[in-house]
Chain A
Amino acid sequence: MSHPLELYHWEPNSYFLKPLIALEEKAAPFTSHWFDPTRFGQFAPEFPRNTESDLHLEREGPVLVHGDAIISSSFFMLEYIAEALPGAELRPGDAFAHYRARASAQFLGGLGADVTLLGCIKYLGPGLQSQDPQTLKARLGDIEPLERRNAWLGLLDGTYDQKLVGSLQERLRFPLGRLEQALSSCAWLAGSAYSIADIDAFALLRSLPTLAPDLVSERATPRIVDFLDRMHERPAVKKALALSRSGKPHEAFVPGAEPSRWG
């Protein structure tokens, strides 16, 4: 593939971390366009857009531009990188392993939504309070579609209270238990080979030891902690995390996928 790669991303955390790791694993040269979504850089006129990037369910980014293609939605971006680019094999072994990777990403999507909301409440909400309220509300009022706007407004209007924080933390116990169990039978999430499933999970989980230490710790989830440690040892992960400008990438959250509306 001779087209240049351009990645529009923020701090290496959550959805933004996934393609950074995958591109480093592939040793694929790319142009980095760092933007601050808390200052709404994703709405700048020069930011690449299409229907899918406007409506994707992870809301604010990242976006990968490859030739004429504008790729959004972070797990499918990982699949695209794994399939379209030369370099290290990031797809797991056979068709069943591919199924496991996709099913894992789908399952962890719900976990990612809850983690993102917890992170936004803890870190982004107070940060937004320091911005000029009138300018901020005017800026947020322009965001489309409506549910994307409401995810931001909820951080200002008291929608996200401590009761919600408690229920989010409680809800995380189930997927984390499943994940701990899965890692007891396999070294990696799609089987014996490291793959995009592991990049996906790592990016969503990495902040949890600080965000919810009661839920992810040596004592509560030893296999998840071991998984995170093994991921941290990978050179590609180290390179991706080194792109942080704040030095605290695990505190970088903006509204992402929404928790299930069915409860």
Chain B
Amino acid sequence: MLTLYHWEPNANSGKPMLALAEKGVPYESHYLDLLKFDQHQPEYLKVNPDGTIPALVHDGRVLTESTPMMEYIDEQFDGPPLRPADPVERWRMRWWMRFFDSYFAPSLSMIGWSVFVGPAARQRDPQELREAIDRIPLESRRVAWRKALFNEFTAGELAESRRRVAFATDVLERHLTKHTWIAGETYSLGDINGFNLGYALPLSQPERCNDERTPRIMEWLRRIYARPAAKQTWEKGRTQMSSRIRVLERT
């Protein structure tokens, strides 16, 4: 029995969704609306008391960290391997997943929350938002949500995030001039991770990520989008967010 609790095919939720699709592993899908705080409702807290998504439940075991979860999926289930056999390529895959998760993604999401998600959420009753934040189990997540929903990012923090996104985009472009895929010559979880982070970069950072400035990134994103598993995964999206992927259609 395999159950995945997830939001849109995007960022952390999209990682196990795309990995499972690539492996051809069927699962029971539970969609949680992150912006309605479904992940902090009592029913879900019985699955993951930390109230974070995604969560994968397999034969009674609960996995809540999306990047290690992908390695579990690859190791546990039959289907095409998603980790290189070569130890150096496997190390490179992990190194880049950490770079995406801990350097690129926090900066990109700070900009995204500041520009798109925060203003939309603030249309709601502030008292309702405060109560929703108070229900978040982890202190670190309460701090993050408070910053995001009440626009408590400083100008300095946002400037630093923009600098890091520009820097990381250029680093990735250079990497893809040397390697076909993130790990080297093998499509892997590193590409799945990076795709979930970067599929909308041509829309959110058009001056940074485009065919003239970052042709390797654009080609890499389009190659992943052309895979049947990616198409199948993004069709599960329910909001405008997932439709952004159409920017990768080859014309």
Contact = CB atoms under 8 A, between A and B. Distances in A.
A, B in one complex:
yes
Interface of A: 51-52, 55-57, 66, 69, 71-73, 76-77, 79-80, 83-84, 95-96, 98-99, 102-103, 106-107, 109, 145-147, 174, 257, 260-263
Contact of B87 (A80, A146, A174, A262): A80
Contact of B92 (A52, A99, A262): A52
B231 interface: no
A57 B96 CA distance: 11
A76 B143 CA distance: 29
Nearest to A99: B72
Nearest to A73: B95
**Majority-rule SS of B interface residues:** helix
Interface of B: 61, 63-65, 67-69, 71-72, 75-76, 87-88, 90-92, 94-95, 98-99, 102-103, 106-107, 110, 139-140, 143-144, 147, 157, 160-161, 163-164, 167, 171, 174-175
A55 B98 CA distance: 11
Contacts of B103: 57
B95 A52 contact: yes
Given A51-B171, A95-B75, A73 B98 contact: yes
B91 A57 contact: no
A56 B95 contact: yes
6 cross-chain pairs, A with B, having the tightest CB-CB distances, nearest first: A102-B68, A84-B87, A263-B143, A95-B75, A99-B72, A103-B65
Contacts of A57: 98-99, 102-103
B95 A76 contact: yes
6 contacts: A57-B99, A95-B72, A103-B65, A145-B167, A260-B140, A262-B106
Given A98-B71, A103-B68, A263-B140, A76 B94 contact: yes
B98 A146 contact: no
Contact of B65 (A51, A79, A80, A102): A102
Contacts of B95: 52, 56, 72-73, 76
Contacts of B98: 57, 73, 76
B63 A99 contact: yes
**Majority-rule SS of A interface residues:** helix
Contacts of B76: 95-96
B68 A106 contact: yes
Contacts of A103: 63-65, 68
B203 to A, nearest CB: 23
A80 B61 CA distance: 26
A80 to B, nearest CB: 5
Given A80-B91, A106-B68, A145-B167, 15 more contacts: A57-B103, A71-B88, A71-B91, A76-B94, A76-B98, A84-B87, A96-B61, A96-B63, A98-B72, A106-B65, A147-B164, A257-B102, A261-B157, A262-B140, A263-B147
Nearest to A67: B88
Contacts of A84: 87
Among A76, A83, A98, A109: residue with most chain B CB under 10 A: A76
A102 B71 contact: yes
A147 B87 CA distance: 30
Nearest to B59: A96
A103 B65 CA distance: 6
Contacts of A109: 102
B36 to A, nearest CB: 21
A56 B95 CA distance: 8
A55 B160 CA distance: 17
A204 to B, nearest CB: 16
B106 A260 contact: yes
A83 B72 contact: no
A69 B11 CA distance: 30
Nearest to A100: B68
Given A261-B110, A263-B147, A99 B71 contact: yes
A173 B109 CA distance: 27
Contacts of A73: 94-95, 98
Contacts of B139: 174
A69 B140 contact: no
